[in-house]
Amino acid sequence: MCNAETETDSPGDEAMAGIFFAVVGASGVGKDSILEGARARLEIEGSFYFPTRLITRPADMGGEDHHSISNADFVQAVRDDKFSLWWSAHELHYALPDDVYDKLRQNIHVVANISRRMVEETIVRFNRVEVIEITASREIIRDRLMARGRESEAEIMVRQLREISPGWAANAHVTQIKNEGTLDEAVESFVDAVVRLSTHAVQHVRRA
């Protein structure tokens, strides 16, 4: 995970007018499916950017669309400050490309799936941050994880019992989207929230 010893100051913070939408939620809650649906609706208009994550996982292992990167290349990229944000979870490394800064400077809103443990770091790195938390009941999440077939039932139980720091959202504005109905309903709620928050931010700036 990012820390003070490996970070550099975010370049051109004062010029980043776009909003960084940090999408968080437990594994199995449906973040990837919702983001895929929202991307098809929002990215085409040019005001939103959904960066493809880099993950130290083979591209053919299923799951979200991602750029596969080796552990060695990942470590070197961190040393060279090639990522806008990076973290580690579940024995894998994740990162967002460094073009996130450019998009935000161009007043393009960035929508990305990140670890909940990185919310505070995200607030430090980007000027304007909105957190959207995808939620669902533990039973629904368990069923989805079982259907995914990547982990045993025991591993899923351990995952669900893993403690998340209660202070992860202390300084964040959080909007919750419940994903317990159809995917279309969740995507609609997500898109509505993102558009509302971005529109409200523009109106607030104009009034100021």
Domains along the chain? 44-207 (3.30.63.10)
What's the pLDDT score for residue 98? 94
Q: Of 109-118, 120-129, 143-152, which range is least confident?
A: 143-152
Instruction: Give the CA dihedral 189, 191, 195, 197, nearest 10 degrees.
Output: 50
The predicted model scores a pTM of 0.82
d(CA 142, CA 69): 29
Contact 90, 61 (CB under 8 A): no
Half-sphere exposure (Cβ direction) of 199: Cα atoms closer than 13 Å: 6
What is the band of 175 on the pLDDT scale with cuts at 50, 70, 90?
very high
Query: How many helices and strands in the chain, by DSSP H and E?
Result: 7, 9
d(CA 116, CA 22): 9
d(CA 177, CA 186): 7
Judge whether residue 12 has pLDDT over 70. Answer: no
d(CA 120, CA 46): 28
Residue 55, φ and ψ in degrees, nearest 5:
-135, 140
Using the CB atoms, write b or e for 68-93: b if 16+ within 10 Å. ebeeeebeebeeeeebbbbbeeeeeb
Q: Which residue has the tokens 């982990």?
A: 151
What is the band of 205 on the pLDDT scale with cuts at 50, 70, 90?
very low
